[in-house]
Amino acid sequence: MLTKEDNELLTHTGPGTPMGELFRRFWMPALISDELSHPDCAPLRIKLLGEDLVAFRDSEGQVGVVDAYCPHRRSRLYFGRNEESGLRCLYHGWKFDVAGNCVDMPSEPPESTFKDKVRIKSYPTREWGGVIWTYMGPLGLMPELPLFEWCQVPPSHRSVSRWIQECNYFQGMEGEMDSTHAFFLHQWFDGRQMQPSGPGGARGGHAGGGRPNFVFNSVQITPRQTDFGMIRSSHSHEAEGLRRWRIDRWMIPIFSLISASSYPVGGRCFVPIDDEHVTVFQYVSHPERPLTDDELRRLGPNAPDEKKYTPTLERAAYHLPGGYAIDTWRDQLNLQNDYLQDREFQRTRNMSGVPSQRTQDTVMVERQGDGPIAERYLERLGSTDAPLIKMRQILIDAARDLQRGIEPKNTRHPEHFSTVAIEVVSPHTELDPALQEVEAILRSHSRPWKVGDPATASVL
């Protein structure tokens, strides 16, 4: 378990905090490009790492991410006019460009040079992979954009979405890298038998009285630290002499790639809004062809679950506790309505009584303890929690290294982000040879394929 002090270091990302300074060394997703759909469209309110900001697309199509408040009388720039290459405050007409420069100050005399002395906070932006990225750190240390595969494919080959979760960023990220919960939380009943989770995984039946009975067997989970973050490997019996390996990847500070048996593949990242809210970005892509309508339906933000229920993300102005509102997407099944949990559905249909897999995850991560920040100093962790323990320590160490003047390694290596998470069926029983096999496949081919001879490794 963590100490209270380490938990605070891990979860606090505001200005001046050790973890906040680490995050500010990386490009982070802020919005989906289509949300600022055209030049001079309406601005959007966002909050990143505890900072109130407003984003707008100017007359030339450039995106600005600037302070939410006019420096004159601290009025909210969101309500201003986005016109003629700047965002104009409604109160007295001061106008600012995407770089934060004051370009017009009609309340001052024509001969005044006061506007040249006034600017607002602004952060560099780039559009990459259908996402608006922003960098909030020292300009002299600004890294290259991460070379994710999903960013490099044509727009028709990918799907990117985002939504809010009402908890600290790290809870969502822990849920993403906790593979064991899928054997339980996401299970559905089929008559008197649980739906199988996969070879060697959990199995459920009824022990009597309608209660499922679980056996979790033969899945071995191992984390390994890397220069980019962590590999989480798990393997289970597949067939005589063969093991199924899942090689998932987590990249400092907030990015995941989750293995799949075939393309499309993807992952998520968890961008802190403040210490009690996070924006989840989900990305899915195929390197060789456009995503089909069925893939977009199954893998998008409103993917139906196994029983064809389709949850709905709704666009909303979400009012944060401090009074600032942000423009985001929110699940209609949420903390305020107990996620519309159906106890009869839970008794007869699935483990949770909540239809959507995304919402099932949200139910578990939004409250771990009595508030939006998990009390990790009260936990009792088991052997399958090893990846979470490793991930926590890697991030804490990286933040402390930065305090000592040691910059994170992967800011200098954008290629570290270009890998893919895949499953491989292999005769190997140890991680090193299995990982070498996976890396050789990724070096030689742009995508997984199936090898006919079961005596050789095959990526499915």
What is the distance in angstroms between the CA of the first residue and the CA of the last residue of the chain? 37
Per-residue confidence (pLDDT) for residue 457, from 0 to 100: 24
* Alpha-carbon gap, residue 182 to 186, rounded angstroms: 5
* Alpha-carbon gap, residue 22 to 20, rounded angstroms: 5
Residue 286 has pLDDT above 50, yes or no: yes
Residue 370 has pLDDT above 60, yes or no: yes
Per-residue confidence (pLDDT) for residue 357, from 0 to 100: 82
Average pLDDT (454-460) is: 24
Per-residue confidence (pLDDT) for residue 190, from 0 to 100: 61
* Alpha-carbon gap, residue 412 to 433, rounded angstroms: 28
* Alpha-carbon gap, residue 178 to 360, rounded angstroms: 14
- What are 8-28's pLDDT values in tens digits? 999 999 999 999 999 999 999
According to DSSP H, which parts of 126-214 are helical? 149-152, 169-176
Average pLDDT (350-358) is: 84
Average pLDDT (295-319) is: 75
* The two three-digit tokens of residue 194, written as one number: 């649980």
SS3 61: coil
* Alpha-carbon gap, residue 106 to 81, rounded angstroms: 14
* Alpha-carbon gap, residue 440 to 448, rounded angstroms: 11
Q: Which CATH architecture has domain 32-141?
A: 3-layer Sandwich (2.102)
Find how far residue 353's CA is from the centre of its chain: 25
Per-residue confidence (pLDDT) for residue 3, from 0 to 100: 94
* The two three-digit tokens of residue 32, written as one number: 């989906």
- From the number of C-beta atoms within 10 Å of its C-beta (0-12, 13-18, 19+), residue 346 rates as middle
Predicted TM-score (pTM) of the model is 0.88
Residue 218: pLDDT band (50, 70, 90) is low
* Alpha-carbon gap, residue 383 to 77, rounded angstroms: 50
Residue 433 has pLDDT above 90, yes or no: no
Q: How many residues does the chain have?
A: 460
Question: Domain map of the chain by residue range?
Answer: 32-141, 149-172+217-459
What are the two backbone dihedrals, phi and then psi, of residue 416, each rounded to the nearest 5 degrees? -60, -20
Average pLDDT (38-56) is: 99
Per-residue confidence (pLDDT) for residue 216, from 0 to 100: 52
Instruction: Say if CB 235 and CB 229 are below 8 A apart.
Output: no
- What are 120-163's pLDDT values in tens digits? 999 999 999 999 999 999 999 999 999 999 999 999 999 999 99
SS3 117: helix
Which residue pairs from 140-147 have beta carbons closer than 8 angstroms and sit at least 24 positions apart in sequence? 141/25, 141/407, 141/411, 143/25, 143/26, 143/27, 143/411, 143/412, 143/414, 144/414, 145/27, 145/414, 146/26, 146/27, 146/251, 146/255, 146/414, 146/416, 146/417, 147/414, 147/415, 147/417, 147/418
Evaluated on CA atoms 356, 360, 363, 365, the torsion sign reads: negative
- What are 70-127's pLDDT values in tens digits? 999 999 999 999 999 999 999 999 999 999 999 999 999 999 999 999 999 999 999 9
What b/e string do you get for 117-129 counting C-beta neighbours within 10 Å, with b at 16 or more? ebbbebbbbebbb
* Alpha-carbon gap, residue 301 to 310, rounded angstroms: 10
